[in-house]
């Protein structure tokens, strides 16, 4: 699962913590019955940081759930799914766990660490150094078994363009 993915439950909990007097509502806008028998529900939602009758919402959103959705959960419960998604989107639009996180900064790796990771990935893929060199040569790189050995020992740096191909060949990740 993507690290940036936030569940609706997490977003609702964060909203309650940040805005204990807040309120979120969803309203069924339309029910669309299609000739082929599938049904779609369109929900709109609104969120208030502190609810006062007659006050304008701080954020709004909408969502649709359909009995023909590719996601089996949504297709099985389209009305409930549209409700949950619309409310969660309103909270996201309010800035609650909206994914606007600072860029993830990685600790730099040494050539030896990268080489050890390449060796592990190569072994998991069941390839010899010679087989990996041949596969990289097929992709346009001038690699020999000695090149693989030097990279794995940290004696030769791995280039970014090479790492991209290793990701496909042996599932190598930096």
Tens digit of pLDDT per residue, the chain (174 long)?
344 568 889 999 999 999 999 999 999 999 999 999 999 999 999 999 998 888 899 999 999 999 998 889 889 999 999 999 999 999 999 889 876 554 444 567 899 999 999 999 899 889 999 999 999 999 999 999 999 999 999 999 999 889 888 988 898 775
Phi, psi of 171 (to 5 degrees): 60, 35
The DSSP secondary-structure symbol of 156 reads S
Q: Of 66, 93, 120, at which residue does a domain stop?
A: 93
Whether residues 45 and 87 share a domain: the answer is yes
Do 69 and 116 share a domain, yes or no?
A: no
Cα dihedral angle (46, 52, 53, 58), rounded to 10 degrees? -30
Structure tokens, 114: 């990268």
Separation of alpha carbons 166 and 132, rounded Å: 9
DSSP state of 7: -
Does 78 lie in the same domain as 132?
A: no
Domain limit, last residue, from 61, 93, 125: 93
pLDDT score at 140: 93
Total domains in the fold of the chain: 2
**Domain housing 138:** 111-170
Inter-helix orientation angle 8-18/78-93, to 10°: 40
Say what the pLDDT of residue 1 is: 35
Which residues lie closer than 8 Å to 133 by C-beta, 6 or more apart?
143, 144, 145, 147, 148
Q: Does the reported pTM lie above 0.75? A: no
Distance CA 115, CA 123 (A): 12
CB 118 within 8 A of CB 174: no
Three-state DSSP state, 8: helix
Does 24 share its domain with 63?
yes
């Amino acid at each position: 699962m993507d690290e940036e993915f936030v569940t609706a439950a997490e977003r609702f909990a964060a909203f309650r913590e940040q805005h204990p007097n807040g309120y979120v509502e969803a309203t069924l806008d339309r029910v669309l019955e299609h000739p082929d028998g599938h049904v779609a529900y369109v929900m709109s939602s609104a969120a208030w940081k502190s609810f006062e009758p007659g006050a304008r919402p701080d954020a709004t959103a909408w969502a649709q759930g359909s009995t023909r959705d590719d996601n089996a959960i949504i297709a099985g419960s389209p009305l409930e799914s549209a409700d949950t998604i619309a409310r969660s989107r309103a909270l996201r639009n309010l800035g609650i766990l909206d994914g606007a996180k600072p860029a993830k900064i990685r600790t730099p790796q040494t050539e030896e660490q990268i080489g050890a990771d390449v060796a592990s990935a190569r072994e998991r893929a069941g390839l010899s150094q010679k087989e990996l060199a041949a596969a990289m040569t097929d992709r346009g790189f001038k690699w020999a078994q000695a090149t693989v050995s030097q990279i794995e020992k940290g004696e030769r740096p791995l280039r970014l363009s090479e790492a991209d191909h290793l990701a496909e060949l042996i599932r190598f990740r930096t």
